């Protein structure tokens, strides 16, 4: 399982949504349970899984999954591994 798959699995679990129902273009307006509380749960899960710490600026700069990937890459996470 590569890091991108791992990211999708975490998103699927946190938001109780099928992996088939999400894409890099998915965001809070597409995923019913993507609210402010679950977004913080997602941040915590991602920080734990990838051993990183997001800044407040990064957390507030997420409008879709591709933004999460960009911030992960900025922290040195290789999503293709």
> Which pLDDT tens digit goes with each residue over 3-29?
999 999 999 999 999 999 999 999 999
> pTM of the full predicted structure?
0.94
Confidence of residue 1 (pLDDT cuts 50, 70, 90): confident
Is 54 buried (19+), middle (13-18) or exposed (0-12) by CB count in 10 A?
A: buried
Q: What is the largest CA-CA distance in the chain?
A: 30
Domain ranges across the chain: 3-74
Q: Are 36 and 14 within 8 A, CB to CB?
A: no
Of the options 1.10.1200.10, 1.10.10.10, 3.30.360.10, 3.60.21.10, the CATH number for the domain spanning 3-74: 1.10.1200.10
């Amino acid at each position: 399982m590569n890091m991108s798959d791992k990211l999708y699995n975490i998103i699927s679990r946190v938001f109780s949504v099928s992996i088939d129902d999400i894409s890099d273009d998915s965001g809070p307006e597409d995923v019913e349970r993507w609210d402010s509380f679950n977004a913080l749960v997602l941040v915590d899960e991602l920080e734990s899984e990838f051993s990183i710490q997001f800044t407040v600026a990064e957390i507030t700069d997420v409008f879709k999954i591709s933004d999460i990937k960009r911030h992960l890459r900025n922290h040195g996470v290789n999503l293709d591994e």
